[in-house]
């Protein structure tokens, strides 16, 4: 099928449009586009709007409910995982501390130090005992392995009998809450003690600068008689430990997990501390950052009246559950957005850990949490807006619909049809001009009354695959679309010239040099297609044109990629004749019936394509190109004067005549041998690529040249005659 419309090289040839063809197209376009009245369209738009609003509302509610349930489950699961991680870590540290307190050497040192501390009022007398120094040395391995930063020994009376920080040894615990937390230790329990604010915990190690919050693991020390004589505590920085545990997993990009006490203040460092520190140096620090709503000013959370700021909603619910006995009351999920301690609008979940007397929170920005819902809302909003806009535009423009239809009846997309220059079974080709560029183009339009899904798909596939090819010897397709009536079309470059079939028909065989010129350029076009995994499958004289273009003559153009095949998506359909059928096996009538439905021209089709239309590769195009070359050199096809079915049998089974003898002595022997090899029935004996074909042409072309002068002279002598002899609709589309 030839998709390119040969056109006159002589501008004097009349270009009157084919009124019958255009008049056939125009009423169908009008009928298809005008099948609904204005009132019906308005009703359809109104109904569509109502339906879309209902669907949008239902979808929004359903997605919102599903998303909230999913978000609640995710936050709760992740928070429970982090709470479990905290519990596992605490229990591990308890067991580790108990192993150290069970060490007899440690117990001996502590027993001596405690005895001295209980008998003397002067701390210098017992804080510098050799046993206190030896105790410090003995505990050094613990510090290295457990990231501890301090230890102390506290008597039941609340006196610090030994400490890594000499400034606290001998002092009395002033913080009642901390001392109350030690009570279970003197009853034989190992305890985890959360950080307490200054004045509620141990004496400060240093007098200058803010102190960092410390977690204590306290284990009882027993004398030889089993009595509990002291508590040995190991301290770790809370911001380090909590941040490591809680920072392992966070929800989304803005998620944050943190620990907090009943005041409430953070017990772990905020993941947003680098940003918050720009507001206040203490912002985001453990034991410094209040869990309160800063309102519109983040500095308000650190002002003198910061305690007057309301608690965040999460902190309020969590701290109020502190004394609750029910496990269900000590956990919660907040899916309605609220403001958190840094002023961000978030959703979150919380749980209070009564055994450790602090809470855990998990928060993420509400915008991120409900982002899918926002996408759904935006999508339906856009749809509604588009539908409304369409309704408004339809109402404004309905009065001029008929005028626009009449004006655009001869237009296909951006192209105005001027003259029909080709027609085939399923399409027509028109000479057209672009509405704005005024550039001539050939527009191929499908016939509406023959359009089926299969034909439209094949038509679209032809345009898409051919548009991938950019070789200068390949027809250029630069536009594709459908009209308002659903008519498919594509636009391609308009060529002025004639097909090889027309040239040979009117002037006879071509000179060897000109044939080599044509074949080399066709090899370039096919070579690009093969490299992209495409096989033309319809190479024939009618699909190769010689054109005049840009002042150049004999410009070769390969056209009509209507049967192009992608090797990567080759069909696996069963063949009409098995692919392994030996060469020379006669074809049966059933086979010929199958072949009669093969798309293409059997005269230029390789035998394997006749056996199986889907079985084609680059060597099928090479066979066809050799058959074209034979025709150009001899003026006749490789098989003559046979009916279609007999021709198919000859292509399948009858060897090609001696090419050299058939072409005569004027054809170079190397060229004749090349054509004979390319026309082999067995494709394994043909060249593997057009590059091999072209390499022989390159060598032969040195002795058999065809110059621009030769081409210009030929067109001056024969161009008008060849073009004028063409029937009005000679091109098959």
**Domains plus CATH for the chain?**
102-240 (3.30.450.20), 250-368 (3.30.450), 497-724 (1.10.510.10)
| Coil/strand/helix, residue 171 | coil
Indicate the pTM of the whole model.
Answer: 0.47
Please determine, for residue 26, whether its predicted confidence score (pLDDT) is greater than 50: no
Q: Is the pLDDT of residue 599 over 80?
A: no
**Mean pLDDT value of segment 400-416:** 68
- Annotate 454-475 with b (16+ C-beta within 10 A) or e (fewer): ebbebbeebbebbbebebebbb
Q: Are 570 and 12 in contact (CB under 8 A)?
A: no
| Comparison of pLDDT for 120 and 292, the residue scoring more | 292
Q: How far apart are CA 544 and CA 8, in angstroms?
A: 16
Cβ of 262: how many Cβ atoms within 10 Å?
15
Confidence of residue 332 (pLDDT cuts 50, 70, 90): very high
Mean pLDDT of 348-354: 93
Residues 6+ apart with CB under 8 A from 728: 18
Cα–Cα distance for residue pair 185/191, rounded to 1 Å: 6
Query: Where residue 555 falls among pLDDT bands split at 50, 70, 90?
Result: very high
Q: What is the mean pLDDT of residues 339-363?
A: 92
**Exposure on the CB side of residue 727, measured as CA atoms within 13 A:** 6
Q: Which of 179-193, 236-250, 296-310 has the highest mean pLDDT?
A: 179-193
Strand-pair partners of 549: 552
pLDDT at 20: 45
15/9 Cα distance (integer angstroms):
12
Tell me what pLDDT residue 733 has. 37
As a whole number of Å, the CA-based R_g of the chain is 45
pLDDT greater at residue 142 or residue 231: 231
- Going from the C-alpha of 645 to that of each of 483, 564, 593, the distances in angstroms are 40, 24, 8
Q: Which of 13-22, 436-445, 568-577 has the highest mean pLDDT?
A: 436-445
Confidence band of 210 (pLDDT split at 50, 70, 90):
low
For 254-284, the pLDDT digits (tens) are: 999 999 998 899 999 999 988 888 888 888 8
Mode of pairing for the β-strands spanning 358-365 and 427-434 = unpaired
Query: SS3 for 489?
Result: strand
- Mean local confidence (pLDDT), 592-611: 66
Q: Which residue would you say has higher pLDDT here, 32 or 122? A: 122
Position 407 pLDDT exceeds 60: no
- What is the mean predicted confidence (pLDDT) over 665-675? 85
Q: Which of 38-42, 82-86, 427-431, 492-496 has the lowest mean pLDDT?
A: 38-42
- What CA–CA distances, in Å, run from 481 to 28, 195, 408, 443, 723? 17, 72, 15, 11, 31
Greater model confidence, 694 or 298: 694
Element (H, E) at 164: none
Torsion of CA 457, 463, 468, 474, to 10 degrees: 140
- Report the C-alpha gap between 107 and 264 in whole angstroms: 38
Of 572, 576, 563, the C-alpha closest to 537 is 563
pLDDT of residue 298: 65
Q: For 659-687, what is the mean pLDDT?
A: 84
Across 55-69, 71-85, 353-367, least confident range: 55-69
pLDDT at residue 665 greater than cutoff 80: no
Q: How confident is the model at residue 544, as a pLDDT?
A: 93
Query: In this prediction, what percent of the chain has a pLDDT beyond 90?
Result: 23
Choice among 119-123, 248-252, 299-303, 530-534 with the minimum mean pLDDT: 299-303
Tokens of 276: 């918050």
Q: How confident is the model at residue 9 (pLDDT cuts 50, 70, 90)?
A: very low
Decide if pLDDT at 168 tops 60.
Answer: yes
Q: How confident is the model at residue 576 (pLDDT cuts 50, 70, 90)?
A: very low
In this model, does residue 219 exceed pLDDT 90?
yes
Instruction: Tell me the backbone φ, ψ of residue 135, rounded to 5 degrees.
Output: -60, -45
Q: What average pLDDT does the structure give for the chain?
A: 79
| 33 vs 630: which has the higher pLDDT | 630
Residue 406: pLDDT over 60: no
The pLDDT assigned to 142 comes to: 73
């Amino acid at each position: 099928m030839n998709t390119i419309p040969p056109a006159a090289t002589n501008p004097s040839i009349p270009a009157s449009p084919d009124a019958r063809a255009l008049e056939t197209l125009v009423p169908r376009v009008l009928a298809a586009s005008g099948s609904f009245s204005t009132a019906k369209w308005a009703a359809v738009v109104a109904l569509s709007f109502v339906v879309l609003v209902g669907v949008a509302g239902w979808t929004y509610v359903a997605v919102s409910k599903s998303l909230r349930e999913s978000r609640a489950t995710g936050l709760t699961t992740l928070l429970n995982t982090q709470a479990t991680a905290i519990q596992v870590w605490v229990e591990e540290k308890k067991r580790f501390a108990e192993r150290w307190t069970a060490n007899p050497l440690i117990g001996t040192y502590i027993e001596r130090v405690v005895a001295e501390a209980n008998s003397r009022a002067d701390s210098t007398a017992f804080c510098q005992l050799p046993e206190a120094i030896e105790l410090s040395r003995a505990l050094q391995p613990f510090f290295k392995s457990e990231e501890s930063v301090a230890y102390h020994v506290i008597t039941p009376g609340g006196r610090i009998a030994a400490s890594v920080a000499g400034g606290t040894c001998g002092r009395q615990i002033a913080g009642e809450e901390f001392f109350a937390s030690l009570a279970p230790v003197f009853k034989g329990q190992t305890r985890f003690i959360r950080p307490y604010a200054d004045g509620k915990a141990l004496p400060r190690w240093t007098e200058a600068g803010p102190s960092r919050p410390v977690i204590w693991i306290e284990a009882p020390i027993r004398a030889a008689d089993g009595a509990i004589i002291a508590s040995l505590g190991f301290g770790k920085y809370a911001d380090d430990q909590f941040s490591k545990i809680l920072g392992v997993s966070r929800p989304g990009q803005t998620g944050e997990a943190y620990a907090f006490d009943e005041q409430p203040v953070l017990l772990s460092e905020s993941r947003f501390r680098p940003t918050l520190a720009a507001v206040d140096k203490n912002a985001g620090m453990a034991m410094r950052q209040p869990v309160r709503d800063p309102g519109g000013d983040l500095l308000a959370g650190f002002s003198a009246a910061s305690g007057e700021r309301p608690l965040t909603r999460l902190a309020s619910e969590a701290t109020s559950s502190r004394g609750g006995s029910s496990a269900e009351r000590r956990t919660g999920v907040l899916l309605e957005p609220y403001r958190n301690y840094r002023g961000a609008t978030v959703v979150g979940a919380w749980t209070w850990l009564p055994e450790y007397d602090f809470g855990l929170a998990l928060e993420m920005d509400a915008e991120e949490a409900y982002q899918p819902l926002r996408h759904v809302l935006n999508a339906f909003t856009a749809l509604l807006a588009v539908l409304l806009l369409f309704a408004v535009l339809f109402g404004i423009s309905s009065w001029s619909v008929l005028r626009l239809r009449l004006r655009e009846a001869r237009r296909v997309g951006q192209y105005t049809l001027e003259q029909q220059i080709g027609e085939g079974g399923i399409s027509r080709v028109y000479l057209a001009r672009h509405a704005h560029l005024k550039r001539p183009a050939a527009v191929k339009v499908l016939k509406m009354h023959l359009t089926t899904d299969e034909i439209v798909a094949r038509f679209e596939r032809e345009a898409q695959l051919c548009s991938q090819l950019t070789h200068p010897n390949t027809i250029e397709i630069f536009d594709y679309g459908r009209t308002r009536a659903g008519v498919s079309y594509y636009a391609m470059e308009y060529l002025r010239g004639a097909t090889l079939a027309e040239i040979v028909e009117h002037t006879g065989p071509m000179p060897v040099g000109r044939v080599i010129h044509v074949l080399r350029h066709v090899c370039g076009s096919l070579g690009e297609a093969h490299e992209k995994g495409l096989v033309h499958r319809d190479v024939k004289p009618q699909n190769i044109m010689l054109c005049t273009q840009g002042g150049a003559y004999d410009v070769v153009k390969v056209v009509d990629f209507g049967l192009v095949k992608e090797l990567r998506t080759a069909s696996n359909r069963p063949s009409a004749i098995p692919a392994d059928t030996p060469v020379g096996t006669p074809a049966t009538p059933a086979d010929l019936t199958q072949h009669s439905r093969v798309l293409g021209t059997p005269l230029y089709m390789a035998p394997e394509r006749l056996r199986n239309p889907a079985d084609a590769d680059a060597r099928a195009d090479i066979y066809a190109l050799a058959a074209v070359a034979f025709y150009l050199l001899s003026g006749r096809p490789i098989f003559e004067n046979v009916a279609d079915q007999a021709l198919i049998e000859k292509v399948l089974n009858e060897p090609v005549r001696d090419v050299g003898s058939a072409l005569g002595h004027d054809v170079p022997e190397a060229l004749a041998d090349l054509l004979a090899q390319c026309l082999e029935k067995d494709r394994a004996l043909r060249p593997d690529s057009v590059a091999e074909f072209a390499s022989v042409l390159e060598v032969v072309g040195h002795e058999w040249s065809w110059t621009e002068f030769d081409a210009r002279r030929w067109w001056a002598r024969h161009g008008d005659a060849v073009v004028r002899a063409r029937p009005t609709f000679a091109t098959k589309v």
